[in-house]
Each structure stands twice: as C-alpha cells, then as structure tokens.
Amino acid sequence: MLGYLADYANAITACSYLFAIMGVFLTLNGKAELGTAAMLWTWFLDHWDGHIARKTRHLRSPGMAEFGKSFDGFGDFIHGVWFPAVVIILVGDGSAISLVASLVLVMSGAIRLSYFENVGLTADARFIGIPVSYGTPLLAVLLLLRPLIWTEMFATILALAFTALAFLYVSTFVRVPAIQGRAIPLATIAAIALSLALMAVA
C-alpha cells in the first residue's frame, strides 16, 4: 500500500496530511490561528496534487489515479469540513448553535464530496455547488477578523457563516470554476499570505 506514495501527486497529498495533523494538534492545544495557518498549507497542496496528477498522467502506474482520487478526497474532508467543525465547537465552547452548525457542515460536506466523487466537474470545468475546500480560507479570514468583532458575538458569526456555506455546498444552482492552471500559483500565494497573517496575530 505504501508504494502508492511513490507517485508524485500522491506524495504531495501525503505532505498535505502532515500539515493537517499539525493544524489539528495546534488547534486542540488552544492555538486556532496557528492551526488554521498550518491547514492553509494543506489547502494549497490540495490544488498542487491535482495539477501534478494531470501533468504526469502518462507516467502514472495503473491504479495510482484511483488511489489518489480517494486519498485526496479524505484530505478535502479533513481541511474543508471536519477541521472547521472542530474550530466552531471549540470557539463556541460547546454551545447549541455550534453543535447545529457542525452537524449541518459535516453532513453537507459529506454529501458534497460523495456527489463530486460520482459526478465530477461539468463539461466546462466547473463544480456544481461550492467546493468544500472553500471552508479553509473562509475560516482563516474570519479568524483574522476576530479581534475586530465583539467576543460574545464571534462564535455565533462563525457558526452562521459556516451554516450558510454548508447550504452552498449542496446547492445545485451554483457553478464554481475549478482552481486550475494559472490560478494555482495565485491560490498558493494567497494561502501563504493568509497563513503568515494568522501567525502574526496568534
């Protein structure tokens, strides 16, 4: 099984998991900003693994692409769905609204990823519904705005923002272009800039 990680794209996905573990560790130790900064690296590596997979398609051994698709999907769930749900619960201190928001987010994210697994992109390379990966940068922006928001209100705003995003995950009327080609370096720069900003305010 470990032989699948010898593939370039799958190796990048494996690196993204290391940042995801670091992000969860930091967050569970009371450092949500630093944890989210680490998770942003998982986010942009998620775009690079697909890019590399497309560029090296002719070099990949049989079964590598199928493994990589599932391997990447678990990463999407961690950084775009499960991790924000954990932060919502921690910031909300286990409140009822944080529980409801997390339930809605996890259910919508699981449905969204399962749908994409079977349907994929549209003919013009667009996602149906907002991709779950949008949860990571949204969380980063909200945490950067946290010092400007009344402390008692932040947990509610965070929960409501992700509840709204969760509904967009499963909205079939939304069409979002995939981050591909020249957009990938731009997304990488944005992720690094956001992660540095989060480290500065942590």
- What region does 71 belong to: left with phi over 0, alpha with psi -120 to 50, or beta? alpha
Band (81; pLDDT cuts 50, 70, 90): very high
Band (116; pLDDT cuts 50, 70, 90): confident
Q: Confirm if 171 and 115 have CB atoms less than 8 A apart.
A: no
**Over residues 18-36, mean pLDDT:** 96
- The pLDDT value recorded for residue 93 is 92
Give residue-wise pLDDT tens across range 142-160.
999 999 998 889 999 999 9
Q: For the ranges 31-40, 58-67, 110-119, 131-140, which has the lowest average pLDDT? A: 58-67
Share of the chain above pLDDT 90, in %: 56
Q: Kindly report the three-state secondary structure assignment for every residue of 9-27.
A: HHHHHHHHHHHHHHHHHHH
Long-range contacts of 179-188 (CB under 8 A, 24+ apart): 179/47, 180/50, 180/51, 180/125, 181/51, 184/44, 184/47, 184/48, 184/51, 187/44, 187/47, 188/44, 188/47, 188/48
How far is Cα 42 from Cα 81, in angstroms, rounded to an integer? 13
Give residue-wise pLDDT tens across range 47-78.
887 777 677 766 667 677 677 677 778 888 99
Band (122; pLDDT cuts 50, 70, 90): confident
Give this prediction's pTM: 0.90
**Over residues 158-184, mean pLDDT:** 91
Angle at 196 between CA 113 and CA 164, to 5 degrees: 35
